Amino acid sequence: MEGFGVFVLVLLVLVLVLVFMGVKTVPQGHAFTLERFGRYTRTLNPGLNFIFPVIDQIGAKLTTQEVVLDVPSQKIITLDNAIVTCDAVAFYQVINPAQAAYEVQNLTAAIINLVLTNIRSVMGSMALDDVLSRRSEINDKLLAIIDQATQPWGVKVTRIELKDIAPPEDMVQSMARQMKAEREKRATILEAEGVREASIKRAEGEKAAAILEAEGRREAAFRDAEARERAAEAEARATNAVSEAIGAGGTGAINYFLGLKYIEALAGIGMAPNSKVTFLPLDASGVMGAISGIAELTKHVGGDGAAKPVKPWGQG
């Protein structure tokens, strides 16, 4: 009875151990590897799993969710010998838990070191300007290289992103200076162009004004000349008419006319307002002549008492 009691107790303990160790619940998002006598046999998927506690044991507990790996920052020398500090972030997911557990010893350390060295080699083959401006290209290159390298480990690297690329402080300052200088250059050029445009416009305006003015003068001169021509023509016509009249009606009419004008002119000289002295640059004989001319006229008019009618001008 004593031995039987011990046996029953041990059996009870064994059953309890079987129950507590043999039932494995794997949570979603995880995968456990099962080792039978230390050798990998299968992968326990999420849900309820039974194992034989005596011969089986759980090897590795892996997560099948996507994992974010922070890649520590490092100093990199670019192709043009600039030293930049750069850190990155990598996303990976375990696709084949067995490979991830047994093909590589320390998965995260392995991936981080791969990323570090490959960032160095990819960025070391580019100039600083390219490194700063072609990040997505670098990301794609890194992803292709590292995904290929991690393939035997049953891991899918889904994304590698360069987080921060920081050139040294003095480099940043000179970059800023360069940018400022370029902007200033643009501003100066623009200002000069503005001045140039303005002076061209101004000169063009002045030119147009001068041309217009000259044209105006020319036009005016033409008109003046025309006016003078017209006046001369009119004078000539008047002279013509007078000479025709003289030709037709003898010299009496013109003599009368001239005499009249002469006397009128004398009157005008005499009536000049400020002159106390009337200066007559006249030879008396001229005046006499004129007067005698008038006398001639009267002779024609009054000789016999009956006036001979004077022929009007223009009737030869």
Partner 1 sequence: MPEIVFWHWYALAAALVVLEVVVPGVLFLWLAIGAVVAGSLVFFIPGLDLLYQVLAFALASGLSLLFGHNMMRRLLSEPPAQAALNQRDQALIGAEAVLIEPIANGSGRVRLGDTSWLVAGPEAPVGTRVRVVAAEGTRLKVEVL
Q: Write out the residues near partner 1 by the rule CB under 8 A.
A: 1, 4-5, 8-9, 11-12, 14-16, 18-20, 22-25, 28-29, 46-48, 50, 64-65, 93, 95-96, 99, 140, 143-144, 147-148, 150-151, 154-159
Toward partner 1, which CB reaches closer, 22 or 289?
22
DSSP 115-173: HHHHHHHHHHTS-HHHHHH-HHHHHHHHHHHHHHHHGGGTEEEEEEEEEEEE--HHHHH
Q: Which residues fall within 8 angstroms of residue 301, CB to CB, at 6 or more apart?
A: 307, 308
Least gap, CB of 23 to partner 1 (angstroms): 6
Toward partner 1, which CB reaches closer, 28 or 285?
28
Least gap, CB of 61 to partner 1 (angstroms): 14
Q: Which residues fall within 8 angstroms of residue 165, CB to CB, at 6 or more apart?
A: 84, 85, 86, 131, 132, 135
Contact 69, 80 (CB under 8 A): no
Please state the φ and ψ torsions of residue 36, each to the nearest 5 degrees.
-100, 115
DSSP 36-104: ETTEEEEEEPSEEEE--TTTEEEEEEEE-SEEEEEEEEEEEE-TTS-EEEEEEEEEEEES-HHHHHHT-
Least gap, CB of 25 to partner 1 (angstroms): 4
Contact 158, 91 (CB under 8 A): yes
Toward partner 1, which CB reaches closer, 41 or 93?
93
Toward partner 1, which CB reaches closer, 48 or 284?
48
Toward partner 1, which CB reaches closer, 154 or 259?
154
Toward partner 1, which CB reaches closer, 19 or 200?
19
Toward partner 1, which CB reaches closer, 23 or 172?
23
In angstroms, the Cα distances linking 214 to 201, 206, 221, 224, 227 are: 20, 12, 10, 15, 19
Least gap, CB of 52 to partner 1 (angstroms): 10
Q: What CA–CA distance (Å, rounded) separates 34 from 42?
A: 5
DSSP character at residue 33: E
Least gap, CB of 158 to partner 1 (angstroms): 4
Least gap, CB of 153 to partner 1 (angstroms): 9
Toward partner 1, which CB reaches closer, 57 or 99?
99
Least gap, CB of 156 to partner 1 (angstroms): 5
Least gap, CB of 105 to partner 1 (angstroms): 19
What is the chain's Cα-based Rg?
Answer: 64
252 in helix, strand or coil? helix
